[in-house]
Amino acid sequence: MEPVYVQLEKYKRGLITRREYFKRLAALGVATPAIMTWLETGGVSAAQETATIAPEFPPQDEIDSKPIVFRGWAYEPTVVEDNVRIFEEQFTENVDYQTVSGDYDLIIDTMQINNEPLDMFYGHEIGIGRYILQGQLLDYSSWWDFERATAEMLPAFTEAWTWRGDGKLYGLPYFSSVRGTIMVNTAYTEKAGLDTVQLTTWDDFYDLCRQMKADGVVEYPLLNHWFATPWATAWQFLWENHNRGIDLWDFEDAYKPLFGGDHESTKTLETWAGLFADGIHPESSFNMSEGGYVDGFATGDFMFSPQQTYDGKRLNDPAMSQIAGLVDFAAPPEGAPWGKIEQGGYLLPKRERTDQQLARVYRHNSFFGYRDINDELFVAKRWAIDHALNSSYSAILEDPDVLAAYAEWMPGGERQFNDMGQYFRQAVWNPFHQCPWFLEWQIPAKEELESAILGRKSPQDAMNDLASATNELWERYRDVILSNQG
């Protein structure tokens, strides 16, 4: 059957009735039970009560005079501009796309607080908590393709975009990754006589690092996720404890911290301090920027490093890496999560809009975050093929064109591609990412965790001090969070 927009065009031209139009939507799997109810009740005003709005758009003169406002960070803006052009051509649309330079999150926060005109912006799943608390984010539940799209996403990734307070979806996937994917410099595994690196637990992995040091394979076997950016060390602490099954938070009590000096997570920090003290890990990582951290591994000085999945391409690029063609993934543990889900998404700011205007924004956002006029995952596939940005749409992870593109830079070929898929399918989402004071927490976390790793504080003292700083945040925001989560 022809896609949704063709059906709409026919309906607009009077070639089919409104009832027929919605029936065809239903046949495409687009119409929700609410639309079917509207049909059953004869369509009298019931549409106004439905959660799903119809894909009906403003007249062309309104589209021409009022662009959709899209803001994003400055990643490959020429590709995005081209995608915008394709969208405009496919739908005779009008988009004002600009990149935001500087402190992206802060500028977007300010735009949100000031209620500036904005229809779509890039965001991470860790940001939705604070936007929702500000009452400045709109969910996608009334989008006509909502059910079909969510059915195609990997569940844990969908869950990450779903606000715990109301169970609604607040983001469509731009890129998806597993931060913490263990990159392996195969020059050293070959030297060590290792065919593959199979992960089991973090402790076993660190033991392997120690063994490599003891065997003289490499001076610094490990480049952990400990770099200068405020969130780096804090994030690994969160995901590693989560992978270890250690609970840091009471999610039912507004993210009350459960940790302190005598908590199980202190052992994680002790292990980290031991890695540094025993020369398994260099001190220089603490001054690296995020890009410098990837480039640091690309120097070939290290054997293992938890990185973003998509950075595998950069690390295997001869123009950017001294170990191009040598960077494989360690095989993730069987049936257990490793690392953390990380996603960029297309978020929809809450603004005054008519249903038609909202439909127009949904059409725009879903072109980027779901399918184009030809019902293709066009944008997601383009990012995957050209830039190795993964997607939480399982179809992308299984697409032969994507596999062929990845095989060009993956030294492990299809096996490595499948390992990547396994990282994705086993990845978990940490509900703390939705904590509205997540950003505030990262600051003391960086300070305390790094002080302990570098031996300036005992892990117990660092965890006690971090607990104290965290409790201040928890007490300050507890009521406002509980009142928003019901």
Q: By CB under 8 A, name the binding residues for other proteins.
A: 103, 106, 109, 113, 130, 133-134, 219, 228-230, 282-284, 286-289, 292, 295-296, 299, 301, 436, 439-440, 443, 446-447, 450-451, 454, 456, 477, 480
Nearer to other proteins, 15 or 113 (CB): 113
CB of 382 vs other proteins, minimal distance in Å: 31
Q: Using CA atoms, how far apart are residues 91 and 441, in angstroms rounded to an integer?
A: 43
Contact 392, 157 (CB under 8 A): yes
Looking at the Cβ atoms of 32 and 305, the one nearer to other proteins is 305
CB of residue 77 vs other proteins: minimum separation in angstroms? 20
Toward other proteins, which CB reaches closer, 65 or 101? 101
Residue 46: name the closest of 17, 19, 16, 14 by CA. Answer: 19
Comparison of 287 and 354: residue with beta carbon closer to other proteins: 287
- In degrees and rounded to multiples of 5, residue 169 shows phi and psi of -90, 130
Q: Which is nearer to other proteins, 219 or 398 (CB)?
A: 219
In angstroms, give the least distance from the CB of 463 to other proteins.
15
Nearest-approach distance from CB 19 to other proteins, in angstroms: 45
CA nearest to 181, candidates 477, 442, 420: 420
Would you say 329 and 420 are in contact if contact means Cβ atoms under 8 Å apart? yes
Give the count of beta carbons closer than 10 Å to the beta carbon of residue 467.
21
Residue number, 40 or 253, with CB nearest to other proteins:
253
Q: How far is the CB of 101 from other proteins (least distance, A)?
A: 12
Q: Which is nearer to other proteins, 153 or 223 (CB)?
A: 223
Nearer Cβ to other proteins (173/444):
444
Instruction: State in angstroms the smallest separation of the CB of 130 from other proteins.
Output: 5
Smallest distance from other proteins to CB 232, Å: 9
Q: Compare residues 330 and 453 and give the one whose CB is closer to other proteins.
A: 453
Q: How far is the CB of 113 from other proteins (least distance, A)?
A: 5
* 81 contacts: CB under 8 Å, gap ≥ 6: 97
Q: Give min distance, CB of 210 to other proteins, in A.
A: 19
Residue 271 CA to residue 427 CA, distance in Å, equals 23
